Amino acid sequence: MKRTKMCTAAVVAAVAALSLAACGGGAAESPSAAGETSGSATEAVDVSDAETIFKLAFNQTDQHPQYIAAKQLGEDLYEATDGRYAIEVYPNEELGTQSDVVQNLSDGSVEMMYIGGPVLESFNEDFIVFNLPYVFDSPEKQAEVFADEAVTGELFSSLEDSKNISVLAALHAGVRNVYNSKKAIVEPSDLDGLKIRVQQSDSQVAMIEAMGAVASPMGQGEVYSALQTGALDGAENNETVFDALKHDEVAKHYSYTRHLMIPDYLLINAETLAAMPDADREAFLELIPSTVESANAGFIEFAAESRAAAEKLGATFNDDVNVGAFKELVAPLVESSVNNPVRQKLYDAIQAANAS
């Protein structure tokens, strides 16, 4: 099923919000700020009496901007459909891990979910293009690409026949950087011998080793204790994870290598979407751009708040990094992964956006 094309005004607003928020670590706003960007409603809407309530699974907390945006989407959907449809968001893996929930989404027992790029890549390997190091120059360029249905349309509908899954949108999920307990990272040589945690993915192992470190793939739940005992020297992730999982207590040196900008995706069961009456489905799809705008801008605010919190704990943030040297080292990995016409088309579209 083809998704309704995002309106130009919403796309421009989303890109502008990202561009402004990404211009450096300015003063962090209050934790309620992300909620204020989530929609036009000033009071929460009680959606419990909706005729149909979609369950949306989420693996983060109810303070996360993606949760706040999804909750607002549920309320807006309730109002747009005169109470026929609404969404209830289940945070903190209440419905299971992403790997478990995506199977439930496929069979229809869960209607919606957020999912990380690497998990979705396991269903269609062409999604790898968006997960490669240094493919996007900035969050606003990433948003520009994801908002262009001419680029993403076929890929986002590619799971409908095989998995009964429609991709509604791709969202900014932070910029991943290296942090460690030893020193600031400026050149690739500074990573020599450092044991850095990566996701349990062959491509992520290859990436961090190409950057100069010793890759240590492991589950996120093991990282704090491994950093604390010295079994790990560091890890790589965005500022929100660095602070939320308290890695800033045991690995004080955060360096902006900016090596990854892996997105999250908002999914819906394809049959569920198709079964909505045309007018209600159209109203639902028209709400998606503002949801993306809210979640994206909120995420960057959240990252700034996380950095400020980490700095209060004594963490240091180093932006004096030879990013070009790291980018050159991982270029062979990117080249070997863009190895079919679908991926080449996606990669070319990203590079065109970067150059625009």
**For all residues of the chain together, what is the average pLDDT?**
89
Residue carrying the six token digits 């309106």:
7
202 versus 188: the higher-pLDDT residue is: 188
Q: Give the per-residue pLDDT at 329.
A: 98
Please, are residues 130 and 117 in contact by the beta-carbon 8 Å criterion?
A: yes
3 state DSSP class of 338: coil
154 versus 10: the higher-pLDDT residue is: 154
Between the alpha carbon of residue 85 and those of residues 50, 157, 167, the distances in Å are: 6, 23, 19
Cα–Cα distance between 66 and 303 in angstroms, integer? 13
238 versus 33: the higher-pLDDT residue is: 238
SS3 annotation, 183-251: CCCCCHHHHCCCEEEECCCHHHHHHHHHCCCEEEECCHHHHHHHHHHCCCCEEEECHHHHHHCCHHHCC
Please, are residues 224 and 245 in contact by the beta-carbon 8 Å criterion?
A: yes
28 versus 322: the higher-pLDDT residue is: 322
pLDDT at 8 over 50: no
Cα 233 to the center of its chain, rounded Å: 25
Give the ranges where the chain is alpha helix by DSSP (H). Answer: 8-21, 33-36, 65-80, 98-107, 117-121, 139-146, 149-156, 160-163, 202-210, 223-229, 239-244, 270-275, 278-312, 323-337, 341-355
Q: Give the per-residue pLDDT at 335.
A: 96
Q: What is the pLDDT of residues 59-69, one digit of tens each?
A: 988 999 999 99
Q: Give the per-residue pLDDT at 289.
A: 96
Which whole number is the average pLDDT over 84-93?
96
Q: What is the pLDDT of residues 265-293, one digit of tens each?
A: 999 999 999 999 999 999 999 999 999 99
pLDDT at 246 over 60: yes
If residue 56 lies in a helix (H) or strand (E), which one and from where to where?
strand 52-57
pLDDT at 36 over 80: no
pLDDT at 1 over 60: no
Report DSSP state, residue 131: G
Enumerate domains of the chain plus CATH numbers.
32-123+159-174+262-312 (3.40.190.170), 176-260+315-355 (3.40.190.170)
